[in-house]
């Protein structure tokens, strides 16, 4: 599921005197209940900490209910980097997943000067992603990209933060260690939303998946994801810093509807 893979909006820039100054560290927490067809199948949470011009995001998730009994899995993720004005620049990223009795799988990325400079993958089954079955992954595909976890942070300050179109309308170049893809967000509506820790508005953004490289050609799942026009991410403002982050996620598929509903959204305890 999307939370265990680290899924689903951000940017990049250089550290300079123009970076956003945060007087004291800010620590935000979001907790989700993940449901499929109205039945809870998992839980997830993440924390975002800002300290001066840097950010760190850590999170975890696991299956629950019937899914936990049939195919238990759990995962954790972490990303860190710099924040300059309304831009992010990741430095490190890591995700680990443990499914049932299989060995833990993991991905680690390092970034230097706006580019992925190191990739470490530990997998139970290694796949050779070579042509002609796969779209070749080239050096250019690892430049000017962000990691999947950093997409959970959307800096947006000033008057732009009051405009749902400016907050939502994003084009995010993502590299996850094996594949290069874009996430295109576009404004849909503004909605009221209430949960423990937050009672206010959220900008509802349409979300599209655009494969670029590293994926298998003509693979059914890739095609279905690329054609899916029924994905939404709801962005809400964090307290004390000019940043938006997901408060709700909705993904409809031909098999059913996944929703990540907030259980808590606010200052970390």
Question: How far apart, in whole angstroms, are the C-alpha atoms of residue 168 and residue 155?
Answer: 11
Q: What is the pTM of this model?
A: 0.88
10: confidence class by pLDDT, cuts 50, 70, 90:
very low
Question: How far apart, in whole angstroms, are the C-alpha atoms of residue 122 and residue 4?
Answer: 15
- Which two structure tokens, joined as six digits, stand for 35? 């449901």
Phi, psi of 78 (to 5 degrees): -155, 140
In a domain? residue 103: yes
Most confident stretch, 47-56, 59-68, 94-103, 191-200:
191-200
Q: What percent of the chain has pLDDT above 70?
A: 91
Name which of 264, 207, 202 is nearest 236 in CA terms.
Answer: 202
In a domain? residue 231: yes
Q: Which domain holds residue 59?
A: 26-264
pLDDT digits (tens, 9 = 90+) for 214-269: 999 999 999 999 999 999 999 999 998 889 999 999 999 988 999 999 999 999 97
* pLDDT recorded at residue 213: 97
In a domain? residue 241: yes
Looking at the chain, how many residues does it have?
269
* pLDDT recorded at residue 68: 85
In a domain? residue 43: yes
8-17, 105-114, 129-138, 186-195: segment of lowest average pLDDT: 8-17
Q: Is the pLDDT of residue 17 over 50?
A: no
Phi, psi of 142 (to 5 degrees): -110, 15
**Overall domain count for the chain:** 1
Q: Which residue has the higher pLDDT, 60 or 65?
A: 60
pLDDT digits (tens, 9 = 90+) for 141-159: 999 999 999 999 999 988 9
* pLDDT recorded at residue 9: 30
* pLDDT recorded at residue 211: 97
Task: State the chain's mean pLDDT as an integer.
Answer: 89
CA distances from 183 to 3, 90, 211, 226 (A): 16, 17, 9, 10
70: confidence class by pLDDT, cuts 50, 70, 90:
confident
* pLDDT recorded at residue 12: 25
39: confidence class by pLDDT, cuts 50, 70, 90:
very high
In a domain? residue 5: no
Q: Is the pLDDT of residue 115 over 70?
A: yes
| Cβ 88 vs Cβ 155: under 8 Å | yes
| Cβ 39 vs Cβ 183: under 8 Å | no
* pLDDT recorded at residue 4: 30
In a domain? residue 13: no
Residue range 29-53: mean pLDDT, rounded? 94
Question: How far apart, in whole angstroms, are the C-alpha atoms of residue 250 and residue 207?
Answer: 10
In a domain? residue 95: yes
* pLDDT recorded at residue 151: 96
CA distances from 244 to 89, 153, 162, 171, 211 (A): 16, 6, 11, 15, 25
In a domain? residue 165: yes
pLDDT digits (tens, 9 = 90+) for 79-88: 999 987 778 8
Residue range 36-46: mean pLDDT, rounded? 95
* pLDDT recorded at residue 158: 87
Give the count of alpha carbons within 13 A of 167, CB side only. Answer: 31
């Amino acid at each position: 599921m999307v939370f265990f893979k680290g899924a689903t909006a951000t940017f990049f820039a250089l550290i300079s005197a123009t970076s956003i100054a945060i007087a004291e560290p800010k620590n935000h927490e979001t907790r989700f209940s993940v449901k499929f067809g109205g039945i809870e199948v998992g839980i997830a949470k993440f924390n975002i900490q800002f300290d001066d011009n840097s950010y760190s995001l850590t999170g975890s998730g696991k299956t629950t209910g019937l899914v936990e009994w049939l195919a238990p899995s759990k995962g954790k993720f972490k990303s860190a980097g710099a924040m300059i004005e309304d831009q992010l620049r990741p430095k490190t990223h890591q995700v680990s997943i443990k499914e049932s009795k299989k060995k833990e799988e993991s991905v680690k990325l390092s970034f230097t000067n706006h580019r992925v400079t190191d990739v470490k993958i530990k997998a139970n089954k290694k796949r050779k992603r070579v042509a002609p079955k796969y779209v070749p992954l080239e050096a250019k595909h690892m430049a000017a990209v962000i990691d999947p976890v950093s997409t959970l942070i959307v800096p947006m300050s000033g008057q732009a933060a009051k405009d749902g179109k400016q907050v939502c309308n994003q084009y995010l170049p993502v590299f996850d260690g094996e594949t290069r893809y874009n996430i295109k967000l576009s404004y849909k509506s503004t909605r009221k939303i209430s949960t423990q820790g937050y009672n206010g508005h959220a900008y509802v953004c349409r979300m599209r998946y655009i494969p670029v490289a590293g994926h298998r050609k003509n693979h059914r799942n890739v095609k279905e994801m690329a054609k899916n026009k029924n994905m939404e991410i709801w962005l809400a403002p964090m307290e004390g810093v000019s940043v938006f982050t997901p408060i709700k996620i909705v993904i409809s598929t031909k098999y059913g509807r996944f929703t990540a509903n907030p259980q808590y959204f606010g200052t970390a305890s």
